[in-house]
């Protein structure tokens, strides 16, 4: 009886070890939307700034981010500009009513479509946030402090 339970337990353990790595994989043929910046989907979106907001992180050691609400001729989009500490270091400011062009990549989030910005143009000023490959220009640390 003991040997039977041992064989069943080992078979169950082996089955779990084979199945668990597949949980994070997409089913063949399915398309999961990319959540990060995708240089292949970069586009330029023009519109009017409706607001500039700082997000309050829910997790410890996650930096606050700056987002803007951009009203286009079709919709109002949330545009992620990156960590607040990086934005504050730049000689660039945005305010409601500003006319801007955002070069960015649209991504689908649980709360809707968001644009991850690579660059924001306001008149002759340019705020660069990512390089041509989509890599962020700010230091990749978990906790950015003002003045870094």
pLDDT (tens digit, 9 = 90+) per residue, 86-133? Answer: 999 999 999 999 999 999 999 988 888 899 999 999 999 999 999 999
- Taking the C-alpha atoms of residue 71 and residue 78, their distance in angstroms, rounded to an integer, is 9
Q: Does residue 54 surpass a pLDDT of 80? A: yes
Domain span holding position 116 = 39-128
- Taking the C-alpha atoms of residue 101 and residue 97, their distance in angstroms, rounded to an integer, is 13
Burial of residue 21 (number of CB atoms within 10 Å: 0-12, 13-18, 19+): exposed
Is position 58 within any domain?
Answer: yes
- The mean pLDDT of 32-45, rounded to a whole number, is 80
**Which CATH number does the domain housing residue 114 bear?**
2.40.50.140
pTM: 0.70
Q: Does residue 3 surpass a pLDDT of 80? A: no
Is position 5 within any domain?
Answer: no
Answer yes or no: are the C-beta atoms of 98 and 48 closer than 8 Å.
yes
Name the domain count of the chain.
1
CA–chain centroid gap for 106, Å, is: 9
């Amino acid at each position: 009886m003991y040997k039977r339970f041992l064989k069943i337990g080992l078979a169950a353990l082996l089955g779990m070890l084979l199945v668990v790595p597949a949980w994070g994989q997409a089913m063949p043929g399915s398309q999961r939307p990319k959540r990060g910046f995708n240089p292949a989907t970069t586009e330029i979106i023009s519109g009017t700034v409706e607001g500039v907001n700082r997000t309050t992180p829910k997790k410890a050691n996650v930096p606050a981010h700056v987002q803007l609400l951009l009203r286009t001729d079709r919709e109002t989009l949330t545009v992620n500009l990156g960590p607040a500490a990086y934005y504050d270091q730049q000689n660039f400011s945005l305010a409601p009513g500003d006319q801007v062009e955002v070069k960015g990549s649209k991504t689908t989030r649980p709360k809707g479509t968001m644009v991850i910005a690579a660059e924001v143009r306001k008149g002759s000023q340019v705020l660069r946030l990512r390089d041509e490959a989509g890599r962020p220009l700010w230091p990749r640390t978990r906790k950015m402090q003002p003045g870094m």
